[in-house]
């Protein structure tokens, strides 16, 4: 490989990756004292639900993210299965992101619960220990940061990795979970990677893993034995170059403070399998209109239209079509979506439908030949199937006129059971009420305007 084609890497461990441990479940355990130290599963609670996050107590029974709730219940029937409370997750995430931005202007959130931080541009006036970025200095800072995260979140833990690149920092944060810290000294990156499975490299999924296995590659050390040309022939130009560089611990990707949206999409999960093709086309048309509305609101357009279809057996299919120029026209997006659906066999039933647009741009090609119209396609009158939600879902925040705040333990047959406790109280009592009891209401956090009153 020519010397000038090798990416530059940092000479110091100045990229930090922070990952909040079992985030959604940890927030639930923080706010529900009776669940601390017990298995908690957050996600869809119905038969077709999917696990979003499992606490470490639940993971000991084999419960994992993206597992069906049905399987999770079979593995850990005594777990608390809760629906999500996204206002609590957003609030907690914002506290952590504000803390990280007080350290460095370059913070790249990957999701609500993880982010990269560039320590090379840290505020030295506030954090003078980061001036030299030596291993002892960044280690001491990372320990301080983890303690501060616990303070601002009310006791949540975070796993942190610090290294000379984003790739190595993320690998390091996974090595000592939960509540761990790993700093990779510069110059030791390849020694750390060599014994690891090739799946540690981003983008190496089942198909790539199988291709590599067929040529005797199982670990990063095995991968190092292949030349860049061999990897390109085996995996294609982009993937071959990418794997070759990361196997050599070469990663010069910067920490980017603002991450632009790569796509705009809408999808829906249905309580009963859909078999009516006309109904599916009508649903896709409505979703395409929603996508177009979001694109226009953001001042964007896109060239590639994709549909996502999950069949009755949980098989997920996607089909895409790319236009010669970007569009934000709902009729165009809907027409392509319906055409893509026509190529799929949905006779066994469909559980999920979705429409997305990618290849985003901030301009739209004018219609030079009069082939399209600005008129939006008239939406069909259709009763859209939807996942039926009970009035009182497990885990939701409620408030009783006499007992105060609590959360829904369970409900059914006209009865809702509530445990009255919050993050600031001990484990509280359990009471049951008629589901239409006027003294029991859903609780919502106050708005900033209400807090100022």
Residues involved in catalysis: 114
- Residues 259 and 153: their CA atoms lie apart, in Å, by 24
In angstroms, rounded to a whole number, what is the distance separating the alpha carbons of residues 116 and 10? 15
Q: Within a 10 A sphere around the Cβ of 254, how many other Cβ atoms?
A: 11
Q: CB-based burial of residue 55 (10 Å sphere; 0-12 exposed, 13-18 middle, 19+ buried)?
A: buried
* Contact present, 117 and 16 (Cβ < 8 Å): yes
| SS3 label, residue 406 | strand
In 101-153 the beta strands, taken as DSSP E runs, fall at 107-111, 114-118
Local structure of 50: helix, strand or coil: strand
Task: State CA 332 to chain mean position distance.
Answer: 29
| Of the candidates 50, 71, 58, 70, the residue with the CA atom closest to the CA atom of residue 25 | 58
- Using alpha carbons only, how large is the chain's radius of gyration in Å? 25
Q: Give the residue among 244, 236, 164 at the shortest CA–CA distance from 198.
A: 244
∠ CA(24), CA(26), CA(27), 5° rounding? 65
Query: Can you tell me whether residue 361 is helix, strand or coil?
Result: strand
Which tokens hold the place of 5? Answer: 């084609």
Q: Is residue 320 within 8 Å of 337, Cβ to Cβ?
A: no
- For residue 360, the Cα-to-chain-centroid distance in whole angstroms is 20
CB-CB neighbours of 211 under 10 Å: 14
Sequence-distant (≥ 6) Cβ neighbours of residue 72 within 8 angstroms: 41, 43, 51, 54, 58, 63, 79, 81
Please name every residue paired with 80 in a beta bridge, in sequence order, or none if there are none: 40
Three-state DSSP class for residue 247? helix
Q: Are 338 and 288 in contact (CB under 8 A)?
A: no
Question: What is the C-alpha separation between 440 and 84, in angstroms, rounded?
Answer: 20
CA distances, 190 to each of 10, 102, 195, 208 (Å): 14, 32, 9, 21
Q: Alpha-carbon distance 174 to 226, whole Å?
A: 26
């Amino acid at each position: 490989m020519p010397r000038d084609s090798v990416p530059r890497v940092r000479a110091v461990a100045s990229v930090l990756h922070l990952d909040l441990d079992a985030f959604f479940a940890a927030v639930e355990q923080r706010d529900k004292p009776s669940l601390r130290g017990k298995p908690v599963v957050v996600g869809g609670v119905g038969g077709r639900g999917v696990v979003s996050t499992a606490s470490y107590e639940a993971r000991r029974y084999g419960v994992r993210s993206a597992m069906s709730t049905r399987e999770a219940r079979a593995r850990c029937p005594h777990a608390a299965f809760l629906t999500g409370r996204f206002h609590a997750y957003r609030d907690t995430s914002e506290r952590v992101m504000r803390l990280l931005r007080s350290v460095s202007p370059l913070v790249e959130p990957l999701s609500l619960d993880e982010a990269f931080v560039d320590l090379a541009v840290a505020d030295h006036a506030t954090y003078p220990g980061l001036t030299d970025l030596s291993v002892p200095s960044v280690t001491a800072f990372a320990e301080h940061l983890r303690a501060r995260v616990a303070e601002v979140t009310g006791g949540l833990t975070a796993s942190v990795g610090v290294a000379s690149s984003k790739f190595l920092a993320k690998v390091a944060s996974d090595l000592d979970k939960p509540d761990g810290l790993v700093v990779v000294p510069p110059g030791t990156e390849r020694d750390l990677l060599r014994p690891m499975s090739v799946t540690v490299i981003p983008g190496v999924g089942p198909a790539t893993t199988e291709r590599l296995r067929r040529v005797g590659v199982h670990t990063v050390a095995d991968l190092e034995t292949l030349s860049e040309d061999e990897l390109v022939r085996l995996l294609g130009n982009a993937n071959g170059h990418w794997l070759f560089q990361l196997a050599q611990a070469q990663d010069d990707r910067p920490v980017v403070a603002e991450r632009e949206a790569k796509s705009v999409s809408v999808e829906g999960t249905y309580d009963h399998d859909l078999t009516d093709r006309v109904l599916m086309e009508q649903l896709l048309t409505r979703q395409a209109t929603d996508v177009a509305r979001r694109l226009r609101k953001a001042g964007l357009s896109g060239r590639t239209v994709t549909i996502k279809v999950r069949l009755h057996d949980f098989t997920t299919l996607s089909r895409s079509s790319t236009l010669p120029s970007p569009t934000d026209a709902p009729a165009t997006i809907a027409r392509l979506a319906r055409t893509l659906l026509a190529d799929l066999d949905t006779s066994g039933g469909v559980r999920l439908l979705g429409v997305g647009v990618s290849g985003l741009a901030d301009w739209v090609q004018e219609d030079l030949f009069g082939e399209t119209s600005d008129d939006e396609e008239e939406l069909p009158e259709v009763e859209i199937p939807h996942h039926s939600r009970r009035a009182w879902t497990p885990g939701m925040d409620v408030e009783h006129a006499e007992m105060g705040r609590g959360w829904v333990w369970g409900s059914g047959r006209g009865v809702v059971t509530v445990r009255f406790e919050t993050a600031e109280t001990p484990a509280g009592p359990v009471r049951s009420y008629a589901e239409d009891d006027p003294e029991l209401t859903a609780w919502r956090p106050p708005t900033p305007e209400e807090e100022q009153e």
